[in-house]
Structure 1
Amino acid sequence: MGLFDEIKKKLSHEFIDIVEWLDNTNDTIVHRFERYQNEIKNGAQLIVREGQTAVFINEGQLADVFGPGTYTLNTQNLPILATLKGWKYGFNSPFKAEVYFVNTRLFTDEKWGTKNPIMLNDDRFGLVEIRAFGTYSFKIEDAGKFVVDVVGTDANFTNYEVNEHLKSLIVTRFTDTVGEANIPLELYAANTSELSETCQEVMQPEFGRVGILLERFYIENVSMPEELKKEIFEYSRLDKLDMAKLTQFKTAKAMEAAAKNEGGTAGAGMGMGMGFVLAQQMGQNMNFNQGQSAAQATQAVPPPMPTQTLYHYAVNGQQLGPVPMERLRELFAARTINKDSLVWKPGLAQWTALKDVAELQSFLGGNTPPPLPGN
């Protein structure tokens, strides 16, 4: 071989193009391989590393896609591009095509969150607002679809750009999912794992339409206003309580307080009276709801003590009480009150004269002393 042939051979090897991308960033998803006038020499070497996919675009149309490996670019390795270019018998001159390298590694710990509160309609608490945030992981599954549908002609498509699109998609689908879940409000924070899996299943088809695989989706926290939290905690405790025992306890505490404040003001007495009305109603409701359970109880267990009726009474236009019937009898005997004195108990629509209350008419039979001599 002559010297000229060796020089020609050497130059031909030196001028063979190498098409590759060395990623020195952590956030680039798609990088367009820059070439003068996008010309690639026939026989150029294409090097695609692990975690990459090379996509060839011809005049805006998707052509060939290459996974990891080393390729010699010719009509055999570029069947689609050769068809688009009309290369029937091969080619020897440089050709034009855009080459996009797509980063297919897993992008982890991406943040998402609801910018505005989500409105839910709960059967017990009405319209409520919640917020949520968490993380997700994704990777490019269909590089060709992703380049055509999302990247377009962007020469350097970053993680930030795709995340803005994905976050909007996540919040929209998350809102739809929790709105249709129809689960008790207090269970959102306690079932984040199950809710995360459900959301991932709902969102994956949307991600897949642009060539993305939603690898993981996590809900880290579901928050709500502090006032709503307190209501939920109170409701949860109330749901666990034995209401009959609670009513008896509250009634006993109220009677103790009433005995200490027998001579209190009219407003305090009326407030206490309303408290006893509520306590009686709660007790009656619980006795009704627990009727079947009581019928099955062991005969050795006595029924609960009956609730003692308390009375308010009026003296010189001032409301006093409440007091039990025995105390009211003592007041009648001492002439502090008489048959025309106004009294009230839970269940009466209005203040009534003592003589017109059935169970108090026993005060009148022989218990009223005769008039003093000389009167």
Structure 2
Amino acid sequence: MVFFRNQFANVVEWEEFRDDMIFWKWSNKEIKKGSKLIIRPGQDAIFFNNGRIEGVFEQEGDYNIESEIIPFLSTLKGFKFGFNSGMRVEVLFVNTKEFTVRWGTQNPVLIPTPQLPGGMPIRANGTFNFKVSDYVALIDKIAGVRDSYLVEDVRIRITSALDQLLMKWISREGKDMFNLQANAHDIARGIREDLDMEILNNGITITGFNVMSFNYPKEIQDMITKTASHEMIGNVSKYQQISMTDGIASGKVQGGGAASDMAGMMMGMNMANEMMKNINQQGQGQNRGNNSGQGNGGGQGQGSGGSSSSGNAGSGASSGGQAKPNFCPNCGAKNEGANFCPNCGQKLG
């Protein structure tokens, strides 16, 4: 124990408190008879000597060191204050709250994937939570050689290990490499467990780890977005029509130039094709109805008289037996049994 004269501190408190500070050491000062300890909400005060914890005080408030603190210290409780003498002690103030920190990959992480031989370059970001859990380990590993410790110090330590852990857990849990967000919970849980083991021996525990988003290169993200759009629309031709209509309505396709002419021609052709399909479908429905009626008339004719039966049957054969060409004689487009050409509208039968 070292004693000094005429250099006394009357109040022991966290003098340089910052919200992002994990601990701060009150050291190289002396206390004397009548000195007070001040503990504020969210703080613990740890008295220690030569790396050994003498006592931990967790309740907020003001304490008389001689009467309320010294009697509870393991090796210093026998010390009696002299009127003009003091005692050098070290007090570690610890911020007991849970810290929340944002993280992000510094460089793209190359995730092995069969689609890309060089690996899929992926960035990610999110948050993690931590708090001090073991004062003995904290003093032994960090506080014994540092006077303070910041959240930024922990963030640097965590992010230095994140790239390898992301590669490990994305490869293990990322069943769909183009939809990693679906497995974000499992990926984050595995990373949290590994990070906790990484810094647990420093007296700090990772209480939470979240992945907010995975970010792909622009080319791959554009491909994913385009694929998703096509799947949502389902009909690519309708998607093209809607896109062209939107372009004209918004003014992006305008004027009398080639773009506007092409747009108008494409819309006209699409509308004509749709109209011809509807006409053909209606015509086929009418033919089926007429053929059915002719067949019924022929049967009735046979039951009533021979001449009527013969006439109706002949009429039915003449009407229903007319063959339609396989190709339009006007434009050459292939015909699939329609009465009108689906390309130019030429009547076929």
Is 1:119 paired with 2:110?
yes
Structure 2: gaps (5+ residues): 1-7, 237-333, 335-349
Q: Deviations over 1:97-141 (max 9, x none)?
A: 211211112222x22111121111123444211111122222222
Q: Does 1:177 align with 2:177?
A: no
CA distance in 1, matches of 2:132, 2:38: 19
**1:152-190 Cα shifts (integer Å, max 9, x gaps):** 433333332332223223444333322333522023133
Q: Is contact 1:55–1:144 with CA below 8 Å preserved after alignment?
A: no
Q: 2:25 aligns with which of 19, 32, 44?
A: 32
Is residue 211 of structure 2 the alignment partner of residue 219 of structure 1? yes
Taking the aligned partners of 2:152 and 2:141, their CA distance within structure 1 comes to 17
Of 90, 95, 101, the residue aligned with 1:98 is 90
SS at match of 1:198: helix
Counterpart Cα distance in 2 of 1:234 and 1:157? 48
Distance 2:136 2:39 in 1: 15
Pairing partner for 1:209 from 188, 193, 201: 201
Deviations 1:227-274 (CA, angstroms, capped at 9, x unpaired):
33355567779999x9xxx9xxxxxxxxxxxxxxxxxxxxxxxxxxxx
Change in 2 beyond 3 A, CA 1:230/1:16: closer
Contact 2:29 2:88 in 1 (8 A): yes
Alignment match, 2:13: 20
Instruction: Write out aligned runs for 1:178-327 (5 A).
Output: 178-230=170-222, 232=224
Aligned partner (choices 52, 66, 73) of residue 78 of structure 1: 73
Corresponding residue SS for 2:219:
helix
Identical residues among aligned pairs (%): 26
- Partner-residue secondary structure (3-state), 2:71: coil
CA contact (8 A) 1:28 1:156 kept: yes
TM-score relative to the length of structure 2:
0.53
CA contact (8 A) 1:47 1:68 kept: no
Equivalent position amino acid for 2:158 in 1 = L
Task: Write the letter of the residue equivalent to 1:220.
Answer: M
How many residue pairs match? The answer is 224
2:123 aligns to what SS in structure 1? strand
Partner of 1:159: 151
Counterpart-to-counterpart distance in 2, 1:16 and 1:210: 31
| TM-score normalised over the length of structure 1 | 0.50
1:55 is aligned to 46
* Structure 1 Cα separation of the partners of residues 17 and 30 of structure 2: 24
1:40/1:173 Cα in 2 relative to 1: closer, same or farther (>3 Å)? farther
| C-alpha contact 1:130 1:223 (8 A) present in aligned 2 | yes
Shift of 1:17: 3.5
Q: In structure 2, the residue corresponding to 1:38 is in which secondary structure?
A: strand
Q: Please give the alpha-carbon distance, in whole angstroms, between the structure 2 residues aligned to 1:230 and 1:117.
A: 17
- Give yes or no for contact 1:16–1:43 (8 Å, CA) kept in 2: no
Closer, same or farther: CA 51–174 of 1 in aligned 2, 3 Å: farther
2:140 is matched with: 148
Residue type of the partner of 2:165?
R
Residues 201, 95 of structure 1: alpha-carbon distance in 2 compared, 3 angstrom cutoff: same
1:317-369: per-residue Cα shift (whole Å, max 9, x none)?
A: xxxxxxx9xxxxxxxxxxxxxxxxxxxxxxxxxxxxxxxxxxxxxxxxxxxxx
Decide whether aligned partners of structure 1 residues 152 and 164 sit closer, same or farther in structure 2, where only a CA change above 3 A counts.
farther
Shift of 1:62: 4.0
1:64 corresponds, among 55, 66, 79, to 55
User: In the aligned structure 1, how far is the partner of 2:220 from the partner of 2:230?
Assistant: 15
Taking a change above 3 Å as real, the CA distance of residues 43 and 180 of structure 1, as seen in their structure-2 partners, is farther
5+ residue gaps, structure 1, are 1-14, 247-323, 325-375
Distance 1:172 1:51, change over 3 A: farther
Contact 2:125 2:212 in 1 (8 A): yes
One-letter code aligned to 1:117: P
- Aligned amino acid, residue 205 of structure 2: L
User: 1:16·1:45 contact (CA, 8 Å) conserved in 2?
Assistant: no
SS in 2 for 1:174: helix
Closer, same or farther in 2 for the Cα pair 1:117/1:207, shift >3 Å?
same
Counterpart in the other structure of 2:130: 138
Question: Secondary structure of the residue that 1:149 maps to in structure 2?
Answer: helix
Change (3 A) 1:153 1:38: farther
Q: CA deviation at 1:52?
A: 0.8
Q: CA deviation at 1:222?
A: 0.6
Question: Considering only aligned residues, what root-mean-square deviation do their CA atoms show, in Å?
Answer: 3.7
